[in-house]
């Protein structure tokens, strides 16, 4: 990236990271530079009422649950869908489920950065509409090619809330407040895929109710359910990105005063096309040049890939090993869901508690690395849960024991996900959407790719050694990687044109 572009990125980050008074102070020196009307300006998203902030957070939380739910709800229906669409290969069967996540690989690379150009709201509304349309078209698919194409395009739109949500929450919540909000939002991409197959499993088991077309009704139902929060968002979801709001304010003031020299504090001397170009390449630059993003993305890649292996094999494993029906087998997804909820409740309280304690010990000065202390426990929970699940399935131990393993795994992955997201938002505040887009894209690549070799891996290594291999990789990426970021994170952020400073 050219030096002038790097300087621009650093300037934007510094302006974004400053206090609410900064924009007012700057505008006092130059009457043509427009910022917020004081530290208590009600139009500043950071000053939204507590009620409005939580409504916004809950809407994003709904989007974050319903979109990923569609990624796995079809998993228990795959055999029925395969009969109807004449799909024979196990790889193609798994691809019909995981291709949805291929959309999550591509979409965040332009949806997240685009939200930093035109705003969070229009990007999210467009993505939601895309998801709803193509998810409905999946219900009308007549062959393998159509289901692959429609699922991929639905995934492109479904990635919108995941790509934009973290950045939007960083717009409205301060560092002291955002822990619970990010934890609520983070549970969606994990809880949705865990609860979807339960409904899908029982629909297959009682397919006479829907005329032998249960898999088509999966798409009908998810479309109808997703349309409700999408409509609510169209009326109640505000724009939250400060530069876009200030740009609208400047445009209005120019019209009222006739002063064409007015400009926003965030406005730089570049064209709209230059801004788009710089924004759209940013996630790619971050995932190739930022050690923090690379390490965290690698860790999430391994654990999300493993998670999606469980999602696509859970029903089949319990049917084959424990001779359960599809409906009963799908109930085992509850162990993952309960693990996510437990990890969220315990992890949120502990992270906020530790964060405040560390800040007090540091003379009231906070650093993003204070979030990472909570990663110590999940680094052990994730491999422990995977090993328990794998070996107890291998030796056909009573079904409750592997469920305990998946419950422990769920706790670990939930705690890891929201800690990583919160740390990323704190570390790359102005470019949170781009940083999250980079990590989301890589972890989605694993969610798409890992299930494709799941059957072959288990056939070759067995459930015990297969899960032990994945557990070892997860610990290797999570343990030493997180420790390095904790120790060297401040130095790395100081050298980065994208990251917040040593303190924030």
Contacts of 14 (CB under 8 A, 6+ apart): 501
Number of domains in the chain: 1
> Taking the CB of residue 186, how many other CB atoms lie within 10 A of it?
30
The sign of the dihedral angle between the CA atoms of 396, 398, 401, 402 is: positive
Q: Closest Cα partner for 440 from 104, 132, 22? A: 104
The two counts, helices (H) then strands (E), for the chain are: 20, 2
- The rounded Cα 318 to chain-centroid distance in angstroms is 29
**DSSP type of residue 173:** S
Q: Can you give the CATH number for the domain in which 129 is found?
A: 1.20.1250.20
Instruction: Give dist(CA 237, CA 234) in Å, integer.
Output: 6
Domain span including residue 116? 3-33+44-495
Three-class SS of residue 477? helix
Q: Closest Cα partner for 155 from 214, 65, 70? A: 70
Instruction: Give dist(CA 198, CA 215) in Å, integer.
Output: 13
Instruction: Give dist(CA 417, CA 406) in Å, integer.
Output: 16
> Residue 503: inside a domain, yes or no?
no
- pTM: predicted TM-score of the whole model, two decimal places: 0.74
> Residue 361: inside a domain, yes or no?
yes
> Residue 157: inside a domain, yes or no?
yes
> Residue 504: inside a domain, yes or no?
no
> Residue 437: inside a domain, yes or no?
yes
pLDDT in tens, the chain (504 residues): 544 444 455 555 555 555 444 444 444 456 788 888 888 888 899 999 999 999 999 998 888 888 888 877 887 788 788 888 888 887 788 888 888 888 888 888 888 788 878 889 999 999 999 999 999 999 888 899 999 999 999 999 988 888 888 888 888 988 777 777 877 787 777 777 777 777 777 776 665 444 456 788 888 888 998 899 889 988 889 999 888 899 888 888 888 888 888 888 877 766 666 666 666 788 888 888 888 888 888 888 888 888 888 877 787 788 888 888 877 887 888 898 889 888 888 877 777 777 778 888 887 787 888 888 778 888 889 999 999 999 999 999 999 999 999 999 999 988 888 888 888 888 887 777 778 878 888 888 888 888 878 878 888 889 899 999 989 988 887 778 778 888 888 888 887 777 765 544
The predicted structure's pLDDT at residue 10: 54
Q: Closest Cα partner for 478 from 354, 285, 308, 306? A: 306
> Residue 72: inside a domain, yes or no?
yes
Q: Closest Cα partner for 162 from 108, 123, 121, 231? A: 108
The residue to which tokens 């989301």 are assigned: 440
Give the 3-state DSSP-derived string for 481-501, with helices as H, strands as E and coil as C.
Answer: HHHHHHHHHHHHHHHCCCCCC
> Residue 502: inside a domain, yes or no?
no
Contact present, 198 and 334 (Cβ < 8 Å): yes
Give the burial class of 264: count Cβ atoms within 10 A of its Cβ; 0-12 exposed, 13-18 middle, 19 or more buried: buried
> Residue 371: inside a domain, yes or no?
yes
Q: 68 vs 136, 281, 318, 336, CA distance in Å?
A: 15, 26, 23, 15
């Amino acid at each position: 990236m050219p030096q002038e572009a790097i300087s621009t990125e650093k300037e934007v980050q510094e302006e974004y990271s400053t206090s609410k008074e900064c924009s007012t102070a700057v505008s006092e020196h130059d009457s043509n530079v427009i910022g917020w009307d004081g530290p208590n300006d009600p139009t500043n998203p950071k000053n939204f009422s507590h009620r409005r902030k939580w409504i916004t957070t809950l809407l994003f939380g709904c989007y974050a649950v319903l979109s990923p739910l569609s990624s796995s709800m079809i998993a228990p229906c795959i055999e029925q869908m395969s009969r109807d669409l004449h799909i024979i290969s196990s790889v193609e069967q798994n691809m019909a489920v995981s291709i949805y996540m291929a959309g999550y690989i591509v979409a965040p690379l332009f949806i997240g950065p685009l939200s930093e150009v035109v705003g969070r709201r229009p990007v999210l509304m467009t993505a939601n509409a895309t998801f709803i349309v193509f998810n409905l078209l999946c219900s009308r698919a007549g062959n393998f090619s159509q289901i692959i194409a429609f699922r991929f395009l639905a995934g492109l739109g479904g990635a919108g809330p995941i790509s934009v949500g973290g950045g939007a929450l960083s717009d409205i919540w301060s560092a002291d407040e955002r822990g619970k909000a990010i934890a609520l939002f983070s549970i969606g991409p994990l809880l949705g895929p865990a609860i979807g197959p339960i409904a899908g499993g029982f629909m297959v088991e009682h397919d006479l109710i829907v005329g032998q077309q249960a898999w088509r009704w999966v798409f009908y139902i998810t479309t109808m359910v997703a349309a409700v929060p999408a409509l609510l968002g169209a009326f109640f979801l505000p724009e939250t990105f400060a530069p876009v709001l200030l740009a609208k304010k400047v445009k209005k003031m120019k019209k009222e005063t006739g002063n064409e020299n007015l400009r926003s504090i965030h406005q730089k001397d570049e064209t709209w096309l230059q801004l788009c170009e710089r924004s759209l390449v940013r996630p790619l630059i971050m995932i190739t040049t930022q050690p923090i993003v690379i390490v965290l993305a690698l860790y999430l890649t391994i654990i999300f890939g493993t998670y999606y292996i469980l999602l696509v094999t859970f029903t089949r494993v319990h049917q084959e090993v424990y001779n359960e029906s599809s409906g009963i087998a799908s109930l085992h997804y509850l162990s993952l869901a309960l693990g996510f909820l437990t990890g969220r409740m315990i992890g949120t309280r502990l992270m906020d508690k530790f964060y405040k304690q560390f800040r007090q010990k540091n003379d009231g000065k906070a650093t993003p690395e204070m979030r990472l202390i909570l990663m110590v426990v999940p680094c052990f929970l994730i491999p422990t849960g995977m090993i328990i699940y794998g070996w107890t399935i291998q030796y056909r131990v009573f079904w409750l024991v592997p469920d305990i393993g998946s419950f422990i795994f769920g706790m670990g992955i939930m705690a890891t996900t929201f800690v990583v997201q919160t740390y990323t938002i704190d570390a790359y505040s102005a470019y949170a959407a781009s940083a999250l887009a980079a990590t989301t894209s890589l972890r989605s690549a694993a969610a798409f790719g890992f299930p494709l070799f799941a059957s072959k891996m288990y056939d070759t290594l067995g459930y015990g050694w297969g899960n032990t291999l994945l557990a070892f990789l997860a610990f290797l990426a999570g343990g030493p990687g997180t420790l390095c970021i904790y120790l060297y994170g401040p130095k790395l952020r100081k050298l980065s044109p994208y990251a917040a400073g040593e303190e924030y």
